[in-house]
């Protein structure tokens, strides 16, 4: 049977009918808002390549966390910019470190908000890489000990969830083990499971002050040309104890999001990364696109592809739009 019996436009006739039959529904509850926390007080340092985003001191981070919560956003993820860096990334697992202070302050003032922490060494290492370096090589196994210490310090400070982003082999296992051994078996782990070595990260490196002093991250982050490898990475992380798995970046990797969603019975997160955000902001500034319409289309497409959770710098604006 075909036209004129079937007329798909009947179900597009008006907004009420369109809403009734909509397949993908987006809400503020789908978002995690990333925040960059730095030392000092009253600090709100704009990030030039990410308009609308800033490095904020702990007191300002509390304000932003409260804004997110009021808009119906259930969770934030914290990235730290320490005052001092070294070759052992000691500030990453310092009980009085910047992220640890931010966790305590936010949980005190906005207790219902889920506070997630990025677990990685790049922001804390003097060389900007995600692991320990020996003779110019990023060392996998020695890095695992530091990541485990960092994750434990975040949870002791009050973090509700940890999110390892380093892409070292075996890091989910060591983090799960150290949390369980210390009585934190109920703390979930959201793994950056399929994290690609992407050019879309450039603005983030300004925001987190984590540009590598030499080389690049291709020896530990995934090759953008690979699809099957993502399934292997995700499977390994789930086997090691990951509760949520993430695909990063999002827009150019919606096939991976869809594959992961179809293949594994765990929640799937997608990180709408800094470069994706910056492109929208730049085009909107030039008047080439309608910013909010494009943002909402991107968010909806990511959820349609299979993302249960979307990490995005657009979270506040998107939530405001959805709350209208």
**Known catalytic residue: 195?**
yes
Q: Is 161 helix (H, G, I), strand (E, B) or coil?
A: strand
Which residues fall within 8 angstroms of residue 78, CB to CB, at 6 or more apart? 35, 37, 61, 99, 102, 103, 115, 116, 117, 118
**Known catalytic residue: 134?**
no
Q: Please name the helix (run of DSSP H) or strand (run of DSSP E) that holds residue 234, with its range, or none.
A: helix 228-240
| Residues 11, 21 contacting (CB under 8 angstroms) | yes
> How far apart are the C-alpha atoms of 247 and 233, rounded to whole Å?
10
Catalytic residue (one of 85, 107, 248, 303): 248
End-to-end CA distance of the chain: 41
Buried residues in 4-23 as b, exposed as e (16+ CB within 10 A): eeeeeeeeeeeeeeeeeeee
Catalytic residue (one of 149, 195, 261, 303): 195
| Residues 244, 16 contacting (CB under 8 angstroms) | no
* Residue numbers annotated as active site: 195, 248
């Amino acid at each position: 049977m075909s036209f004129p019996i079937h007329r798909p436009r009947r179900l597009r006739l008006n907004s009420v009918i369109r809403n009734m039959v909509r397949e993908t529904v987006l809400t503020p509850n789908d978002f995690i808002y990333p925040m960059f926390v730095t030392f000092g007080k009253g600090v709100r340092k704009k990030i030039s390549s990410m308009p609308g985003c800033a490095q904020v001191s702990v007191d300002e981070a509390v304000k932003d966390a409260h804004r997110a919560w009021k808009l119906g956003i259930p969770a934030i993820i914290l990235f730290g910019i320490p005052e001092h860096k070294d070759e052992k990334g000691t500030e990453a697992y310092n009980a009085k470190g910047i992220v640890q202070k931010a966790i305590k302050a936010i949980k005190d003032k906005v207790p219902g908000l889920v506070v997630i922490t990025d677990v990685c060494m790049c922001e804390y290492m003097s060389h900007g890489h995600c692991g320990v370096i020996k003779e110019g090589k990023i060392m996998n196994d020695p890095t695992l000990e530091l990541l485990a210490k960092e994750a434990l310090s975040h949870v002791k400070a009050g973090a509700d969830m940890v999110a390892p982003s380093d892409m070292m082999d075996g890091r989910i296992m060591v983090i799960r083990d150290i949390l369980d051994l210390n009585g934190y078996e109920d703390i979930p782990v959201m793994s950056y499971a399929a994290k690609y070595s992407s050019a879309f990260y450039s603005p983030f490196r300004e925001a987190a002050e984590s540009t590598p002093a030499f080389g690049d991250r291709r020896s530990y982050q995934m090759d953008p040309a690979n699809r099957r490898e993502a399934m292997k990475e995700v499977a390994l992380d789930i086997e090691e104890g990951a509760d949520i798995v993430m695909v990063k970046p999002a827009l150019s990797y919606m096939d991976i999001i869809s594959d992961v969603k179809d293949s594994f019975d765990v929640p799937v997160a997608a990180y709408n990364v800094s470069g994706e955000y910056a492109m929208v902001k730049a085009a909107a500034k030039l008047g080439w696109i309608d910013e909010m319409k494009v943002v909402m289309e991107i968010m909806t497409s990511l959820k349609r592809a299979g993302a249960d959770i979307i990490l995005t710098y657009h979270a506040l604006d998107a939530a405001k739009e959805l709350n209208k």
